[in-house]
């Protein structure tokens, strides 16, 4: 109570008197209500609503007002959980998501373009710079091109080569240093110049070769192996299945003069078949008697397809036809990514030091 001099009467501890047992009264068991900026009572157990800039009031246990479905009035529609007027909204002109673009306006649901833009597919596009509408609506620039002043031009570092394609002449092996300047098979384009990959050397024609395995450049550029030889570890030696005999390579399975072993000759008109001297009638298809020997014309590189038709040192006899091959540089097994272009079939013939890339559709 207040005394005559205005002082407030307190109890022995100096605190204002409590009501009903000492507890400051609250409203319905909630937080103590305050006035002018204090804590306000909660509603149905939700977040404490505030006034003038406080926390957004919640409804029935914590659902925020933004989760409540938006209801629009009049000619407005809901776009991205907000009410818009499609007749005049430049970002949702006529329908949700249709933007009139920079400088564009929306009137009666139709875009009106400004700032040099034109109407393309319902939206505004600057045909001077738009890669999808360069120069006119729907004319798109290809990969590696930009739209400059309404024309598709190659990006920096690239030039246009045949068919309108933009290529980087510093790295493109088909246009190395300039359009149409192709590098030879196996070489790469480095800084606009054709260069051979590691382990290979350019021959007199500019082709990249491996002198460790190339029969036309065995051990050194220009050193050719004989037709019956291959190049292995920079040395010309007999092809697989052939044996050195008197300065030439022979097949001990078919050679009449070296049947089964060097110097063992067949006599009396006999032929050498599978390393044994037998009667001439034992030579049957696909083998044929060629120069006194029974040879398989399907696989014999000295009699490929017919007697006397010898394959070049860079060819194999596959199915009776001579097929070019190159050593698959860097490969140890097939298939191999080194086999490209016409030489797509990767093979490892018996006796060869490693995989080969051949034009044949199958391996020998």
Helix (H, G, I), strand (E, B) or coil at 256: coil
Helix (H, G, I), strand (E, B) or coil at 248: strand
Q: Which residue has the higher pLDDT, 67 or 301?
A: 301
Residues paired with residue 194 on neighbouring β-strands, in sequence order: 189
Residue 163: what pLDDT? 67
pLDDT of 307 higher than 90: yes
pLDDT of 343 higher than 90: no
Q: Tell if the pTM clears 0.85, that is, is over it.
A: no
Task: Yes or no: say if 219 and 213 are a contact pair by the CB < 8 Å rule.
Answer: no
Q: Percentage of the chain with pLDDT > 90?
A: 17
| Tens-digit pLDDT profile for residues 278-296 | 998 888 888 888 887 888 8
Residue 277: what pLDDT? 92
Residue 184: what pLDDT? 74
| Tens-digit pLDDT profile for residues 129-151 | 888 899 999 899 887 788 999 98
Rounded CA-CA distance 274/31 in Å is 107
Structure tokens at 122: 């319902």
Residues paired with residue 201 on neighbouring β-strands, in sequence order: 209
Task: Yes or no: say if 153 and 146 are a contact pair by the CB < 8 Å rule.
Answer: yes
Convert 219-231 to b/e letters by CB count within 10 Å (16 or more is b). Answer: eeeebebeebbbb
Convert 35-67 to b/e letters by CB count within 10 Å (16 or more is b). Answer: eeeeebebeeebbeeeeeeeeebbeeeeeeeee
pLDDT of 214 higher than 70: yes
Q: Cα–Cα–Cα angle for 336, 340, 343, nearest 5°?
A: 95
pLDDT of 101 higher than 80: no
Q: What are phi and psi of 281, to 5 degrees?
A: -75, 0
Separation of CA 230 from chain center = 37
Residue 156: what pLDDT? 80
Contact residues for 68 (Cβ-Cβ < 8 A; gap 6+): 59
Give me the mean pLDDT over the 120-130 stretch: 83
Evaluate the CA torsion angle 172, 174, 178, 181 in order and state its sign. positive
Task: Yes or no: say if 265 and 258 are a contact pair by the CB < 8 Å rule.
Answer: yes
As a dihedral over the C-alpha atoms of residue 346, residue 350, residue 351, residue 354, rounded to 10 degrees, the angle is: 20
Residues paired with residue 117 on neighbouring β-strands, in sequence order: none
Element (H, E) at 268: none
Give the closest residue to 349 by CA, choosing from 313, 320, 325, 321. 325
pLDDT band at 25 (very low <50, low <70, confident <90, very high): very low
**Cis peptide bond upstream of 286, omega within 30:** yes
Q: Which residue has the higher pLDDT, 165 or 278?
A: 278
Q: What are phi and psi of 6, to 5 degrees?
A: 95, -5
As a dihedral over the C-alpha atoms of residue 33, residue 35, residue 37, residue 39, rounded to 10 degrees, the angle is: 0
């Amino acid at each position: 109570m207040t005394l005559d001099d205005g002082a407030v009467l307190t109890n022995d501890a100096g605190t204002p008197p409590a009501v009903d047992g000492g507890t400051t009264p609250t409203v319905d068991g909630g937080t103590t209500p305050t006035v002018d900026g204090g804590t306000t009572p909660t509603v149905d157990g939700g977040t404490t609503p505030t006034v003038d800039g406080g926390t957004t009031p919640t409804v029935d246990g914590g659902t925020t007002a933004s989760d409540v479905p938006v209801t629009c009035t009049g000619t407005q529609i809901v776009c991205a959980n907000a009410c818009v007027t499609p007749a005049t909204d430049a970002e949702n002109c006529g329908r949700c998501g249709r933007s009139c673009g920079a400088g564009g306006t929306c009137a009666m649901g139709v875009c009106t373009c400004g700032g040099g833009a034109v109407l393309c597919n319902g939206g505004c596009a600057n045909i001077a710079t738009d890669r999808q509408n360069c120069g006119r609506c729907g004319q798109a620039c290809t990969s590696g091109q930009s739209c400059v002043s309404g024309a598709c031009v190659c990006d920096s570092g690239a030039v246009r080569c045949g068919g309108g394609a933009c290529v980087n002449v510093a790295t493109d092996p088909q246009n190395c240093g300039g359009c149409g300047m192709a590098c030879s098979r196996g070489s790469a384009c480095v800084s606009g110049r054709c260069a051979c990959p590691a382990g290979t050397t350019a021959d007199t024609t500019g082709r990249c070769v491996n002198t460790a395995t190339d029969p036309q450049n065995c051990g050194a550029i220009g050193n050719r192996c004989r037709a019956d030889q291959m190049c292995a570890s920079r040395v010309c030696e007999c092809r697989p299945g052939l044996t050195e005999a008197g300065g030439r390579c022979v097949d001990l399975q078919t050679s009449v003069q070296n049947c089964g072993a060097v110097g063992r000759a067949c006599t009396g008109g006999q032929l050498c078949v599978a390393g044994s001297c037998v009667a001439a009638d034992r030579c049957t298809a696909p083998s044929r008697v060629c120069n006194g020997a029974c040879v398989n014309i399907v696989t014999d590189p000295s009699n490929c397809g017919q007697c006397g038709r010898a394959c070049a040192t860079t060819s194999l006899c596959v199915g009776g036809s001579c097929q070019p091959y190159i050593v698959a540089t860097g490969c140890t097994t097939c298939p191999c990514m080194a086999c490209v272009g016409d030489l797509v079939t990767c093979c490892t013939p018996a006796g060869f030091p490693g995989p080969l890339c051949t034009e044949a559709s199958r391996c020998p």
